């Protein structure tokens, strides 16, 4: 039973980390797109 709890906790941490990294990347991309659009600029030229 203890092994099952350890596995469950590990999976929860991995899922949380993956979700946070994905959401942070998407939010950063959307913010960058919005700022570029607002300022009339484009990435890399």
**What are 1-45's pLDDT values in tens digits?**
677 899 999 999 999 999 999 999 999 999 999 999 999 999 875
Predicted TM-score (pTM) of the model is 0.74
The domain limits of the chain are 1-45
Q: Return the ∠ at Cα 24 (arms to 12 and 32), rounded to 5°.
A: 170
**CA 33 to CA 39: how far, in whole Å?**
10
The reported pLDDT for the residue numbered 33 is 95
């Amino acid at each position: 039973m203890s092994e099952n709890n350890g596995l469950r906790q590990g999976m929860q941490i991995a899922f949380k980390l993956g979700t946070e990294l994905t959401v942070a990347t998407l939010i950063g991309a959307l913010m960058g797109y919005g700022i570029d659009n607002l300022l009339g600029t484009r990435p890399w030229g």
